[in-house]
Amino acid sequence: MEKEADLFYRQLPKVELHAHLNGSVSFSTIQKLMDRKPHLNIQHNMTAIRNGQKRTLDECFQVFKVIHQLVDTEEDILMVSKDVIREFADDGVKYLELRSTPREEKNSGMTKRSYIHTIMEAIRQCKNEGLDIEVRFLVAVDRRNGVEVAMETVKLAEEFMLATDGLVVGLDLSGDPTVSHGRDLLPALQKAKNCGLKLSLHLSEVPSQGEESELLLNIPPDRIGHGTFLHPEVGGSQSLVDQVRKNNIPLELCLTSNVKGQTVASYSEHHFLYWYQMEHPSVICTDDKGVFCTDLSQEYHLAASAFSLTQEDMWGHSFKAIDCIFAPDSIKQHLRQRWLELRPALF
């Protein structure tokens, strides 16, 4: 039965809306990168958190630094992006919004512009190769890098949004939530919103960020990443929940990431249930499928098991996720049609 259920979740057409490029690099791609750069002496246990293992969120951020060492040329970015897109397609993801923080690397000559350009190239190549997946991109602002970089990133995102005919759809705010205050980044985020970029903001990923969340929710963002500590039961507040509900802002929820990063104690205690019971829009996502050793099918399966949801319920969840994508209505309509064609048999 478990095997059949597994097949159901693999066959289920899915939308992935919260995937950080460098956190999504698989074991096999990491191996190819290690072969390219043996002098770095990086081992697999430095780039992934296996099942049964847990790390503090701070340790998770150390892992990204190791991966960044391995991915530091345009050639690497191209390979990594194509591999990640292919792997999502193999997992039954039909629409993917990838996000990544543009980086410059003096040694290899990679610039922030060429970084984004290379990801666009990877998306185009995957399309030309006939992969059955629509891909869009969010340019990420790492909160650690401060106001000036945030502003510069917004400008780059706007430039690419205009130049790529809708491949760049939005801006992400991410990075170590314990560093800096969102207040300082408000002008940059507001500017992004004003120029037509959709906003997905990591919010209340750790406790005691209520004040920052309130400020950021006032923009308001188009989607929320995690939102782990928004609700009153975990130290958030009813007024934050009301703000989210009033603007009907969907949440991107990443179960394994939160459990392995120890911001949530167990799968059954995940805040997925809080929002699901309220019938508030949310979307199950992977966050960093490489680092957390998961994939989207598995995340759907885990959520179903943790909350005793049926395959019919999970079909409904995946269908409703289409409402939350940043691409325009014509794409949403197209995806809904495909979902009905691809609906798998229930086991």
Binding site for ligand 6MZ (CB under 6 A): 20-23, 60, 64, 100-101, 140, 142, 174-175, 202, 205, 257, 261, 287-288
The answer to whether 278 and 271 have CB atoms below 8 angstroms apart is no
CA 177, distance to chain mean position in Å, is 15
Alpha-carbon distance of 143 to 180, in angstroms, equals: 7
The answer to whether 229 and 235 have CB atoms below 8 angstroms apart is yes
205 is catalytic: yes
Alpha-carbon distance of 257 to 272, in angstroms, equals: 13
Question: Shortest gap between Cβ of 329 and ligand 6MZ (angstroms)?
Answer: 28
3-class secondary structure, 219? coil
Closer by beta carbon to ligand 6MZ, 47 or else 101: 101
Query: Scanning the structure block, which residue is given the tokens 């190791």?
Result: 66
Query: Scanning the structure block, which residue is given the tokens 């209340």?
Result: 204
Catalytic member of 74, 105, 205, 299:
205
Closer by beta carbon to ligand 6MZ, 87 or else 288: 288
In sequence order, the 6+-apart residues with CB closer than 8 A to the CB of 27 are: 44, 48, 290, 293
Check residue 105 and report its DSSP letter: B
Closer by beta carbon to ligand 6MZ, 265 or else 346: 265
What residue type is 328 in one-letter code? P
Closer by beta carbon to ligand 6MZ, 115 or else 339: 115
Q: Is the dihedral of CA 45, 49, 52, 54 positive or negative?
A: positive
Alpha-carbon distance of 161 to 168, in angstroms, equals: 5
3-class secondary structure, 262? coil
Q: Dig out the tokens for 184 from the structure.
A: 């300082």
- How many CB atoms sit inside 10 A of residue 114's CB? 18
Question: 315-340 in b/e burial notation, b at 16+ Cβ within 10 A?
Answer: bebbbebbebbbbeeebeeebeebbe
Which residues are identified as catalytic?
Answer: 205
